[in-house]
């Protein structure tokens, strides 16, 4: 009743590659762990260990920064991910916008305000409001255009917030935009294809 039964273990059937399969059997856990193991090279002291960790983290941060600047999807922030956001970035980057020059113009207005002329003082009163109005209208036009284009090209993707995303990018100085522009001004035919 409690005796072991001695039977021959059934032979494994021959391996047949399934269509869409990986074409090889799954390795045993022990084999996978053996391959993963690396020889331990212990640092001489705690200071050396911290130094190695800092160097490794600095290299990872540099790699992430470079990847984000190039626009690689895996390094982007959540707000920048997806084909719709890429389309919005390219849509804005392919245009010269007043908003991208706003800081330069405001700086020029401050410098002009230091001049001892009445016209300079008048310019300081009206120019910033006018400039902000132009940037606001430009942002609304860009937002509407990018939403329309995104709805045409990516009907299944969500376009929520893409208009504001495009408007905010248009107000940034082109050189300081992150991820950096992938299209040059005037290359409207390449929008969304980079």
pLDDT tens-digit series, residues 103-112: 999 999 999 9
What is the C-alpha to C-alpha distance for residues 136 and 2, in angstroms, rounded to an integer?
86
Q: Is pTM beyond 0.75 here? A: no
| pLDDT at res. 62 | 94
Count of residues making up the chain: 194
| pLDDT at res. 148 | 95
Question: Within the chain, which residues score under 50 in pLDDT?
Answer: none
What is the C-alpha to C-alpha distance for residues 150 and 159, in angstroms, rounded to an integer?
7
| pLDDT at res. 37 | 81
| pLDDT at res. 31 | 87
| pLDDT at res. 92 | 95
């Amino acid at each position: 009743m409690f005796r072991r039964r001695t039977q021959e273990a059934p032979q494994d059937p021959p391996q047949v590659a399934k269509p869409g399969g990986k074409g090889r059997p799954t390795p045993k856990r022990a084999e996978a762990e053996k391959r993963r193991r690396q020889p331990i090279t212990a640092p001489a002291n705690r200071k050396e260990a911290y130094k190695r960790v800092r160097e490794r983290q600095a290299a990872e941060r540099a790699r992430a920064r470079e990847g984000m600047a190039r626009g690689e999807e895996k390094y982007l922030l959540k707000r920048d991910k997806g084909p719709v956001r890429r389309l919005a970035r390219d849509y804005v980057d392919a245009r010269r916008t007043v908003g991208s020059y706003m800081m330069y113009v405001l700086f020029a207005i401050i410098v002009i305000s230091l001049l001892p002329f009445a016209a300079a003082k008048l310019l300081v009163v009206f120019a910033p409001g006018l400039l902000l109005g132009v940037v606001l209208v430009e942002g609304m036009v860009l937002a509407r255009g990018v939403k329309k284009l995104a709805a045409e090209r990516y009907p299944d993707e969500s376009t929520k917030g893409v208009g504001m995303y495009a408007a905010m990018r248009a107000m940034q100085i082109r050189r300081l935009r992150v991820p950096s522009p992938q299209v040059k001004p005037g290359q409207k035919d390449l929008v969304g294809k980079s």
